A and B are shown apart, each in its own frame.
Chain A
Amino acid sequence: MAFDYEKYLRMDKIPHLWCPGCGIGVVLKAMLRAMENVNWERNDTAFVSGIGCTSRAPGYIDCNTLHTTHGRGLTFATGIKMAQPDKNLVIFSGDGDATAIGGNHFIHACRRNIDMTLIVVNNNIYGMTGGQHSPTTPIGFKASTTIYGNVDPSFDICLLARAAGATYVARSTVNKGRTLEQYIQRGFENKGFSVIEAVSNCHTQFGRKNNMSDPISSRKWIEDREIPLAKARDMKAEDLKNMVITGEFITEKSDLERWENYNRAEKEYTEAYSDIIKKVKKK
């Protein structure tokens, strides 16, 4: 049955500004379906972003929306959540926004584990500013600042998030809209900080410089490199070079409870803080 996206959109802003075939739209749609799945009220939900093509996403959503400064979306969201802990917070970020200029906020948001969901649209490039390389541009690939091929190593966003303490971490691609929806939904359901990395196509800026200037070939390039996490576990490092390992990197119930919670707080941050308030509040 067709999904009623119109219910959640500011229809006077559609068509959106993204290039024909840009994957950000696919991620936005998956997010809206996930929002419906968890029955979030529009009035009780805020979308926050930094700067970049991805960061334009909140503007299309008929909720409380905040388009902030480059890389800083998480910091504004943290303030909102601390002020109104019972509201739903979702942050959209590009790969540059989240892991270059906003890298410090990214790891600390993971560490604090405040109940919010960060969706990183990883298109391996700085889309909005014209195709400069980002912290996820693969080695050897071209960008407007790596004319002779990139020598700058990449972050693995999910491993970074996991090491920093996020309690739900998953990666899928724009070729798998349903999986993205499912992962985002699980992120929403996780009472803690969730990171969903959506590997996406920027054929306009990244593809054009790397012989895949249309959305179909760019999406194909992503599809061809996709390796499910379970399979990747048995593969050699050299065979995983520049591959897209997809799946759930952490689920609170499995990995974490078993062996990764040695330094984790027992309670979600805003809950722990309300306990303090209850304890010290003036009668």
Chain B
Amino acid sequence: MKKNIKFYSGAELVAKAAIDAGCRFFGGYPITPSSEIAEHMAKELPKVGGTFIQMEDEIAAMGSVIGASLAGKKSLTATSGPGFSLKQENLGYAYMAEVPVVICNVMRGGPSTGLPTALAQADIMQAKWGTHGDHPVIALTPAYLEEVYELTIKAFNYSEIYRIPVILLLDELIAHLSTAIELPDKDLLVIKDRRKPTVTPDKYFPYDTAYGDVPPMANFFEGYRYHVTGLSHNKTGFPTTDPDLVQADQERHLRKVNANKGKIIDFESYKMKDADIVVFAYGSTSRAARVAIDNARKLDIKVGMVRLRVIWPLPEAEILKLCSKVKAIIVPEMNMGQLSNVIEKYAADRTKIVRINHVGGVPIHPSNILDVIKEVR
């Protein structure tokens, strides 16, 4: 078989995967370091009959992708820190109205304009808690270009399966990295589409839980003529303030992801079999960690890595297991400890949590991690 090896950048792969996953609309607003994704989409979408629009700001971009998705087109928007902040209100709307969309956030240093062009992992918590109210979250953190492609497709699949916005968190380094990679055979890709109603319009309710926690979704203009609102609503889609209904609906929303955690959680265990020190990492920092671990192993240090491909939901069970097994968990992050804060809570003094936090824009070097490994051995 002829191998499909070509040079791609991370940004290009997000666009390519999106289109291969069936994305046919992109609404965005330029911001470093995510703009290349918009540029690729602007070039590629019309070739497949899709549409691209550069909106007046990120709020508008987020609104446009929700609208396009409701009109039946899988949709992508891409942004970076400050733009991700602007998207938050409409992101909440997508959770509330259960509209599948994918948001790619190429992270940069913050707060505010921060470090526009430098590497950071600043939005781990914004991805989880950026919009107000409780909502389920799926956020993916690819570390390799093959994974950018694979996880972008997954992001679309999850958004369609669970009727939620899915967040793709890219490190600037990953978005701008360019290497030759082999893409999977297109015919072997698993592409999921939203479940459509099987009933006639008179029997259709947009939030009908009779079909499970993820109600079938009719697109606009397909004859179903339903109502969508960001207000708390009942199964008909119209507003309700009935405390029991509102409570039950919020619980259902969370259940969509919580009850399927087993299928969504995704991490790589690297040299973990005999490890008594573990590095907990995601995105580009995990690449440095891998080198550090290989070097530490040469010094007979039993260190391994848990690398999160999906950062939300977290693999809680695995973390709890590790906490009572290993003598230290090292968490290197390009932020001031957004993930380590969470891990610390799970650890509850059963093991030592050691943080490595860089926010100056300079990547964490393998030697930084190796030094810490040596310290805690």
Within 8 Å by CB of A277, from B46, B68, B226, B227, lies: B46
Q: Is the CB of B70 within 8 A of A66?
A: yes
B67 and A282 form a contact (CB under 8 A): no
B220 within 8 A of A: yes
A251 at the interface (CB under 8 A from B): no
- In the complex, chain A residues whose CB is within 8 Å of the CB of B221: 43-44, 46, 64, 84, 87
Number of A-B pairs whose CB atoms are under 8 Å?
A: 145
Contact between B67 and A42, CB atoms less than 8 A apart:
no
B73: which of A42, A77, A83, A282 is its contact (CB, 8 Å)? A83
Chain B residues contacting A108 (CB-CB under 8 Å) are 55-56, 60
Binds B, one of A68-76, A137-145, A152-160, A187-195: A68-76
Report the Cα distance A59→B70, complex, angstroms.
16
Q: Which of B49, B90, B228 contacts A72 (CB 8 A)?
A: B90
Q: CB of A15 within 8 A of chain B?
A: no
* A contact residues around B231 at 8 Å (CB): 67
B165 interfacial by beta-carbon distance below 8 Å: no
A79 to B226, CA, bound (A): 18
Which residues of B have CB within 8 Å of A105?
Answer: 56, 59-60, 63
- Bound form: Cα–Cα A200–B57 in Å: 30
- Can you report 29 A-B residue pairs in the complex whose CB atoms are below 8 A from each other? A13-B238, A63-B225, A65-B225, A65-B227, A66-B67, A67-B229, A68-B63, A68-B90, A72-B63, A74-B60, A75-B55, A75-B67, A76-B63, A76-B67, A78-B27, A78-B64, A79-B53, A79-B71, A80-B220, A83-B24, A83-B75, A84-B71, A84-B72, A84-B220, A87-B221, A105-B56, A105-B63, A273-B51, A281-B47
B66 CB within 8 Å of chain A: yes
Assess the A59–B225 pair: CB atoms within 8 A: no
Given contacts A42-B225, A48-B67, A67-B229, A79 and B47 within 8 Å (CB-CB): no
Contacts of B361 in A (CB 8 A): none
Closest Cβ of chain B to A160, distance in Å, is 15
B140 to chain A, nearest CB (A): 23
B25: interface (CB < 8 Å): yes
Considering only CB atoms and an 8 Å cut-off, how many residues of chain A contact the other chain?
Answer: 41
For B57-91 the 0/1 string (1 means CB < 8 A from A) is 10111111111111111010000000000000110
Within 8 A of B (CB), among A249-283: 270, 273, 276-277, 279-282
Q: Is B223 an interface residue (CB 8 A)?
A: yes
Tell me if A104 counts as interface (CB < 8 A to partner B): yes
Determine the chain A residues whose CB is within 8 A of the CB of B56 once the complex forms.
104-105, 108
Once the chains are docked, how many angstroms separate the CA of A82 from the CA of B51? 6
Judge if B267 is at the interface, Cβ distance under 8 Å: no
* Most chain B CB within a 10 A radius of its CB, from A80, A104, A282: A80
- Residues of chain A lying within 8 A (CB to CB) of residue B110: none
Q: How far is the CB of A88 from chain B (nearest CB, A)?
A: 10
The distance in angstroms between the C-alpha atoms of A80 and B63, with both chains bound, is 10
B47 and A67 form a contact (CB under 8 A): no
A43–B222 alpha-carbon span in the complex (Å): 7
**Given A59-B238, A280-B47: A83 and B229 interface contact (C-beta under 8 Å):** no
Minimum distance in angstroms from A24 CB to a CB of chain B: 17
Q: Are B226 and A69 in contact (CB under 8 A)?
A: no
Q: Can you name 20 extra interface pairs (CB under 8 A) apart from A68-B93, A79-B65, A83-B24?
A: A43-B223, A63-B225, A67-B229, A67-B230, A67-B231, A72-B89, A76-B64, A77-B67, A78-B55, A79-B25, A84-B221, A87-B220, A108-B60, A270-B51, A273-B46, A277-B49, A277-B51, A280-B46, A281-B47, A282-B47
Does B48 sit within 8 A of A, measured CB to CB?
Answer: yes
Chain A residue with Cβ nearest B223: A43
C-alpha spacing A67/B62, complex, angstroms: 15
Produce 1/0 per residue, A78-107, CB < 8 A to B.
Answer: 111111100100000000000000001100
On whether A79 and B66 interact (CB within 8 A), knowing A13-B238, A105-B60, A280-B47, the answer reads: yes
Residues of B within 8 A of A67 (CB): 227-231
Neighbouring A residues of B61 by C-beta, 8 Å: 75
The 0/1 profile, CB within 8 Å of A marked 1, for residues 7-26 of chain B is 00000000000000000110
